[in-house]
Amino acid sequence: MSVVSTGELVATAAATGTGVAAFNVITLEHAEAIVAGAEAAGRPVILQISENAVKFHHGRVGPIAAATLAVAKDAAVPCALHLDHVESVELLTQAPLHSFSSVMFDASALSYADNVAATRSAAEFGHAHGLWVESELGKVGGKNGEAPLSAHAPGARTSPSDAVDYVAQTGVDGLAVAVGSSHAMTSRDAALDHDLIAALRDAVDVPLVLHGSSGVGDDELRRAVAGGLIKVNIGTALNIAFTGAVRPILDGDAKLVDPRKYLKPARAAMAETVAHFLALLG
């Protein structure tokens, strides 16, 4: 099965009323698990590498991108490669050089005006190089001197009117919105604002993206996708599965030194998690 573009997978999901999942790749085992889980579910998938993951790999995107691409090329289901939460313009410019078909440019820590300017520039670069460009909008700051609030901060909500202005000014292809989820949640009890999801869906003409989906329960995710969320990002849930498989093995054998003995079950646990989430979104 050939590697496809993120834009193609998102467009197909939007047209069929389903969701498409994007799972975070940190190690080769993550990439292998994501593809194995997608094959088990018979569903397409997006493999995404974040700027933080690139930093973990000594700031070199090339090796982990090449490994992920190689795994994707051998997959029996359509796979896309996405570069996630990019704050560095230098890293942004490397995306088309390493087979990424999309990038999420993150200028959310800037003031609204600076966010718009930086994101517009990123979108122009991305479109000139064939990239589908995602960005995010949390709570716009500036009122009473308050700073902008990340889309993943507890309590952050994206205003539909702000979203309309932001999409029009930046030209992004997808918008990550703040509707009640947050990054790095280890419990799945986030309560999403479904009325807001519907309002945002009706307000903007680009696909909506949910970040921090690991903290959202199954029923909430199903309802969110039915309500208009298209791209669903999942990262922490894989790390929970990975660590949950490794810890008892190491605790049970202090003399174990072969990493294959614990990486294999860790990879299998992540694949099961991937298959579970993909079944929800279909």
219 closest CA partner among 195, 255, 192: 192
DSSP-derived pairing of the beta strands 174-177 and 132-137: parallel
**Partners of 216 in the β-ladder:** 190
107 closest CA partner among 123, 127, 95: 123
241 closest CA partner among 268, 216, 205: 268
Q: Which of 74, 84, 162, 218 is catalytic?
A: 84
84 is catalytic: yes
Amino acid at 7: G
Residue-wise burial string across 215-240, b where 16 or more C-beta atoms lie within 10 A, e elsewhere: bbeeebbeebbebbbbbbbbbbbbbb
Residue 220, C-beta contacts closer than 8 angstroms, at least 6 positions apart: 190, 191, 192
How many alpha carbons fall within 13 Å on the CB side of residue 81? 24
How many alpha carbons fall within 13 Å on the CB side of residue 166? 33
- What is the distance between the alpha carbons of residues 56 and 60, in angstroms, rounded to a whole number? 9
Per the structure block, which two tokens stand in for 115? 């966010």
Active site residues: 84
